[in-house]
């Protein structure tokens, strides 16, 4: 089986706080965070550059930087809750997740952080799961846990709940779409507390963050990003679980699915996944054998350089004309960045500089799948 070696990366306390402030500043998303660190080398320098970059992108009012006292206060809240943060670039940040395009710059966590070092399988499925679906999720998770895997899921009703319960004894990670201190859903209050004590709660949100619809697809890309592969137990054709499966595929991970009766709407999504290339799973051994035959993919290897610093300090400063050339190609419908580069004919480095400034100015939005759109 594969072993994820840790990469010894040292970030001192001042730089760590600067990166946290950068990640929590206005209009700085995960991809922008990576570009800023690549361009300026440190979180401190990137923070200092934000106001001018946003102004060059067309922003009229000053961009809101996360103040140092606010960041320190949030860290104190987490500490009082027996929680901590993990910053992208630190040694213990899980390698598979670090290698996805939009890895969370800052993770909040409570529980046993060593579970992030283990081989992980994501298990997702229907909230209104059948009795058989929940039984399958429980047993598969228990068997995979006994075989040395950590089980990762989203603490939702149905399949997620069954998967966590099956793996509690061996190690389970619950990725939340809320702050760590928010109980959601309410009926999983006891399970959430048990995972905090026996497993690991993980989130990219601050304490106090309430559930919002847009948080859950973003949560799903963390589940798939942490995992060698994602197992879908039951899912309708229009299901959030299929979004997780699609993200897993786009991240280069394996997708597994449990087949079901063609008469059950909850099996249509999983059966369709199998029809389109997902591996059919009837027992844990099917997954274990598949993982043992995997080649050494890039996402499994230690990340020596998370931030591409080969162009640090050499970025060309774009002008209004180049930015307008990009904006003219955009609408409120997301479009692939590669298509825009092709249409504009701009050199990639110049295009990325324009994009960085436009995003910090709040004029464009990024979307999963390397797409962008005009901000409404």
- Residue 376, pLDDT score: 72
What is the Cα–Cα distance from 143 to 284, expressed in whole angstroms? 6
Q: What is the pLDDT of residues 31-51, one digit of tens each?
A: 999 999 999 999 999 999 999
Q: Is residue 307 part of a domain?
A: no
- Residue 296, pLDDT score: 44
What is the Cα–Cα distance from 241 to 128, expressed in whole angstroms? 12
Range(s) of the domain holding residue 94: 13-99
B/e letters for 280-289, b = 16+ CB within 10 Å, e = fewer, are ebeebeebbe
Residue 142 maps to which CATH number? 3.40.50.450
Q: Is residue 215 part of a domain?
A: yes
- 267, 300, 333 - which closes a domain: 300
Task: Please check the confidence at residue 11 and state whether its pLDDT lies above 90.
Answer: no
Residues 209 and 266 in one domain: yes
- Residue 307, pLDDT score: 58
Q: Between residues 67 and 317, which one has the greater pLDDT?
A: 67
Residues 174 and 130 in one domain: yes
Residues 183 and 206 in one domain: yes
- 72, 99, 126 - which closes a domain: 99
Residue 342 maps to which CATH number? 1.10.10.10
Number of domains in the chain: 3
CA-closest candidate to residue 107, choices 241, 223, 192: 223
Residues 215 and 86 in one domain: no
Task: Please check the confidence at residue 133 and state whether its pLDDT lies above 80.
Answer: yes
Task: Please check the confidence at residue 3 and state whether its pLDDT lies above 80.
Answer: no
**Confidence tier at 304 by pLDDT (50, 70, 90):** very low
- 44, 79, 99 - which closes a domain: 99
Residues 227 and 139 in one domain: yes
- Residue 78, pLDDT score: 97
Give percent of the chain above pLDDT 90. Answer: 81
* Pairing of the two strands 335-336 and 364-367: unpaired
User: How many CB atoms lie under 10 A from the CB of residue 345?
Assistant: 8
Residues 262 and 137 in one domain: yes
Q: What is the pLDDT of residues 18-33, one digit of tens each?
A: 999 999 999 999 999 9
Q: Is residue 305 part of a domain?
A: no
Task: Please check the confidence at residue 297 and state whether its pLDDT lies above 70.
Answer: no
Q: Is residue 309 part of a domain?
A: no
Task: Please check the confidence at residue 5 and state whether its pLDDT lies above 60.
Answer: no
- For 1-15, 197-211, 281-295, which range has the lowest pLDDT when averaged over its residues? 1-15
Helix (H) / strand (E) containing 109 = strand 106-111
Residues 185 and 289 in one domain: yes
Residues 296 and 346 in one domain: no
Residues 188 and 270 in one domain: yes
Q: Is residue 346 part of a domain?
A: yes
Q: What is the pLDDT of residues 173-214, one digit of tens each?
A: 999 999 999 999 999 999 999 999 999 999 999 999 999 999
Q: What is the pLDDT of residues 61-111, one digit of tens each?
A: 999 999 999 999 999 999 999 999 999 989 889 999 999 999 999 999 999
Residues 20 and 144 in one domain: no
Residues 284 and 182 in one domain: yes
Q: Is residue 162 part of a domain?
A: yes
Q: Between residues 149 and 302, which one has the greater pLDDT?
A: 149
Residues 232 and 335 in one domain: no
- Model's pTM, two decimal places? 0.90
């Amino acid at each position: 089986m594969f072993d994820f070696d840790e990469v010894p990366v040292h970030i001192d306390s001042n730089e760590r706080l600067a990166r946290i402030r950068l990640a929590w500043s206005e209009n700085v998303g995960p991809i922008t965070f990576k570009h800023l660190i690549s361009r300026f080398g440190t979180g401190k320098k990137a923070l200092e550059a934000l106001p001018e970059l946003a102004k060059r992108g067309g922003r009229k009012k000053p961009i809101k930087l996360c103040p140092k006292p606010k960041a320190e206060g949030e860290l104190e809240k987490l500490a009082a809750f027996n929680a901590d943060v993990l910053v992208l670039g630190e040694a213990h940040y899980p390698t598979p997740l670090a290698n996805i395009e939009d890895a969370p710059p800052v993770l909040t966590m409570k529980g046993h952080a060593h579970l992030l070092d283990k081989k992980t399988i994501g298990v997702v499925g229907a909230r209104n799961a059948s009795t058989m679906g929940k039984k399958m999720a429980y047993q598969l998770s228990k068997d995979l846990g006994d075989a040395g895997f950590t089980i990762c899921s989203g603490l939702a009703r149905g399949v997620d709940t069954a998967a966590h319960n099956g793996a509690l004894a061996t190690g389970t990670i619950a990725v939340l779409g809320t702050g760590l201190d928010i109980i959601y859903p309410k009926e999983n209050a006891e399970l959430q507390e048990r995972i905090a004590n026996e497993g690991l709660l993980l989130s990219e949100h601050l304490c106090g963050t309430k559930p919002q619809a847009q948080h859950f697809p973003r949560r799903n890309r963390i589940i798939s990003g942490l995992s060698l592969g994602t197992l879908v137990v039951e899912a309708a054709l229009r299901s959030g679980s299929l979004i997780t499966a699609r993200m897993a595929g786009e991240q280069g991970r394996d997708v597994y699915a449990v087949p079901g009766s063609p008469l059950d709407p909850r099996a249509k999504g999983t059966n369709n996944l199998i029809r389109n290339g997902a591996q059919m799973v009837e027992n844990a051994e099917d997954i274990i054998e598949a993982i043992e035959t995997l080649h050494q993919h890039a996402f499994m290897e230690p990340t020596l350089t998370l931030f591409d610093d080969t162009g640090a300090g050499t970025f060309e400063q774009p002008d209004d004309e180049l930015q307008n050339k990009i904006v003219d190609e955009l609408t409120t419908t997301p479009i692939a960045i590669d298509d825009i580069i092709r249409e504009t004919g701009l050199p990639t480095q110049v295009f990325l500089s324009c994009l960085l400034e436009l995003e910090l100015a709040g004029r464009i939005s990024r979307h999963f799948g390397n797409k962008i759109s005009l901000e409404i």
